Amino acid sequence: MSDDKKSPLNDQQMLFTMITALVKRAGGEIRITAEEMDSVTQKDMVLMYYDQALQEIILTTSLITAPSEEEH
């Protein structure tokens, strides 16, 4: 991974490289239904971490919650 200060999530080439790696890992094809696409909302967020020891990018999903929602 580059030591560049720019966030990899802002780099279109990095995002396409990650998508390509995921498709290759899945055997060359990933199908996403319209329903799955429609289920993604503005509250959905993808977090990205880099494990230096394993040299792996870790992607996880999370929901953005409003402060009032976290109190309950």
* Domain annotation covers residue 48: yes
What residue numbers bound the domain in which 16 lies?
8-70
CB 58 within 8 A of CB 22: no
* Domain annotation covers residue 23: yes
* Domain annotation covers residue 3: no
> What's the number of domains the chain is made of?
1
Residue 60: enclosing H or E segment and its boundaries? Answer: strand 56-63
CA distance readout (Å), 48 to 36, 37, 59: 21, 20, 5
The pLDDT value given to residue 55 = 94
Does the predicted model carry a pTM greater than 0.95? no
* Strand 56-63 versus strand 44-51 pairing type: antiparallel
> pLDDT tens, 13-44?
888 999 999 999 999 999 999 999 999 999 99
CA distance 56 to 58: 6
* Domain annotation covers residue 13: yes
